[in-house]
Homo-oligomer: A and B are copies of this chain.
C-alpha cells in the first residue's frame, strides 16, 4: 500500500490497537528490544499476528522478513500518526469523584493531550486547583476553551446534565468528546464522540460471568 493510498482516518478499532502497540513498545524499547516480529507484538497485545500486520499496513509501516519490524521506528511512526505533531488541549466538565480520578490520571501522565481546565458548578471547587488542574465555573467554559484552543472535552457530569454540557462544549469549539454519562449525546456530524458507558460495561460482565465462559469471545485463542 502506497503512502498516498492510505485512508485519511483509520477505523476506530485500529486506532485503539495502535495506541496499545505504542504502549507495549514504550515498555520494550527501553528494555533493549530493537527488532520485533508481528507474533511477538500480537502476543503482548492479545491479538493475532495477521491483525498486527494489517494494522501496520494501514499506517504504511514496513518490516523485513528476516528481522521483523524496527521497534523504535514503529514507535516513532505510531507517535506521529496518533499525536499528529501538535499538542492538543483537553478540558473536563464535572469534577465529581470520577472527574477528579481522571484529572489525577492526566496529572500522572503528561502526554501529548494536555488537561488545561476543569469545570464545575460547585462554588466550593471553583477557583481551586484539583489534581493539578484549575477548576473554573461552568460560566467561563466558552471563554476558557476558546482561549486554550482546546479540542477535546471530557464529560463526567451526572446523568441529565450531559446533553447540556455537550452543547456548551460543542458551541465552544470542541471537536471530540469522551462521554462518561450514561446517555447518548446528540452532536453535529463534525464532532466525534467516544462513549465510555461504565454501566453497560458492568452489566455486560455480570451477564457473561453468569455463563461461566468466554465461548462467545472474539479473541479466544
Interface residues of A (CB under 8 A from B): 8-12, 15-16, 19-20, 23, 44-46, 81-84, 88, 90, 96-98, 100-102, 104-105, 112-113, 131, 151-152, 174-178, 182-184, 186, 189-194, 196-217, 220
Q: Could you say which of B178, B197, B199, B207 contacts A84, with CB atoms under 8 Å apart?
A: B207
Q: Could you say which of B82, B182, B204 contacts A23, with CB atoms under 8 Å apart?
A: B182
> How far does the Cβ of A131 sit from chain B's closest Cβ, in whole Å?
8
User: Looking at A90, A113, A207, which has the most chain B CB atoms within 10 Å of its CB?
Assistant: A207
Complex CA gap A101/B92 in Å reads 16
Q: Are A196 and B196 in contact (CB under 8 A)?
A: yes
Complex CA gap A130/B174 in Å reads 35
Q: Which chain B residue lies CB-closest to A208?
A: B192
Residues of chain B within 8 A of A112, CB atoms compared: 206
Residues of chain B within 8 A of A206, CB atoms compared: 82-83, 88, 90, 112-113, 151-152, 176
Residues of chain B within 8 A of A210, CB atoms compared: 84, 88, 151, 175
Residues of chain B within 8 A of A202, CB atoms compared: 90, 113, 152, 178
Q: Are A194 and B204 in contact (CB under 8 A)?
A: yes
Residues of chain B within 8 A of A177, CB atoms compared: 205
A101-B97 contact, Cβ under 8 Å, with A45-B184, A200-B16: yes
Complex CA gap A101/B19 in Å reads 25
Q: Are A211 and B8 in contact (CB under 8 A)?
A: yes
